[in-house]
């Protein structure tokens, strides 16, 4: 692309068009088109962290976990606090039972977007897996509150975990 086209922002505009097409295709459950449009957006604007993160998300949805990891890594290289990339890497680490790494990524995702209940939920679950139920209960309560404010049915699931964490904490304090 010529310098004039770059200066005018044409590649950015076209990349954003492809990005929106990718999101629309994904919402219509057309993962192949979503991935193709995202690849085109990245060709036009390869330095955009969010595009790499979304490409990683699509790869993760497609069960291409190594590709997802590489996309998330690239996004984080471009922007250390790219929310979706940190959340995605946290989910991959959680899946692999790498609790410390998962917690680190969820904390970074939370720093980027503190209102996201899914991140709070997984941070709570990671703290629980690390044996830090006093922290887990705090994060899960925040997740339940955010799910409730969005009228999301996952609030009930959070409350189940809150009861479980409370039991574990009372057992731990009873043994001390």
pLDDT tens-digit profile of 92-111? Answer: 999 999 999 999 999 999 99
At residue 42, the pLDDT reads 96
What does the pLDDT average to over 131-146? 97
- Give, for 112, the enclosing helix (H) or strand (E): helix 99-112
At residue 4, the pLDDT reads 46
**What CA–CA distance (Å, rounded) separates 148 from 125?**
18
What does the pLDDT average to over 146-154? 95
Q: Is the pLDDT confidence value at 35 over 90?
A: yes
Domain hosting 126: range is 115-176
Helix (H, G, I), strand (E, B) or coil at 108: helix
Give φ, ψ of 90 to 5 degrees.
Answer: -60, -45
At residue 173, the pLDDT reads 77
Q: Pick the closest to residue 158 from 115, 121, 110, 126 (CA basis).
A: 121
Helix (H, G, I), strand (E, B) or coil at 133: helix
> Is 104 part of any domain?
no
> Is 93 part of any domain?
no
CB 119 within 8 A of CB 106: yes
What is the value of pTM for the model shown?
A: 0.87
Q: 11-26 pLDDT, tens per residue?
A: 888 999 999 999 999 9
The CA–CA distances, whole Å, from 49 to 35, 79, 90, 149, 157 equal 16, 6, 17, 30, 32
pLDDT band at 9 (very low <50, low <70, confident <90, very high): low
At residue 172, the pLDDT reads 80
Q: Is the pLDDT confidence value at 121 over 70?
A: yes
CB burial of residue 32 (10 Å; 0-12, 13-18, 19+): exposed
For the chain, the domain total comes to 1
- Give, for 120, the enclosing helix (H) or strand (E): helix 117-129
CB 132 within 8 A of CB 143: no
> Is 168 part of any domain?
yes
**What CA–CA distance (Å, rounded) separates 110 from 148?**
18
What sign has the CA pseudo-torsion 16, 83, 80, 72?
negative
Describe the crossing of helices 133-149 and 154-175 by its angle, rounded to 10 degrees: 160
Q: Is the pLDDT confidence value at 2 over 50?
A: no
């Amino acid at each position: 692309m010529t310098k004039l086209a770059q200066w005018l922002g044409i590649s950015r505009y076209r990349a954003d068009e492809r990005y929106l097409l990718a999101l629309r295709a994904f919402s219509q459950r057309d993962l192949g088109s979503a991935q193709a449009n995202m690849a085109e957006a990245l060709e036009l604007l390869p330095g955009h962290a969010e595009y790499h993160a979304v490409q990683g998300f699509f790869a993760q949805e497609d069960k291409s976990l190594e590709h997802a990891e590489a996309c998330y890594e690239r996004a984080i290289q471009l922007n250390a606090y790219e929310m979706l990339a940190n959340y995605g890497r946290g989910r991959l680490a959680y899946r692999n039972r790498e609790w410390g790494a998962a917690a680190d990524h969820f904390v970074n995702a939370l720093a980027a977007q503190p209102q996201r209940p899914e991140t709070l939920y997984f941070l709570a679950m990671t703290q629980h897996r690390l044996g830090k139920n006093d922290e887990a209960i705090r994060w899960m309560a925040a997740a339940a509150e955010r799910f409730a404010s969005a009228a999301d049915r996952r609030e009930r699931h959070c409350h189940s975990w809150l009861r479980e964490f409370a039991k574990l904490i009372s057992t731990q304090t009873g043994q001390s």
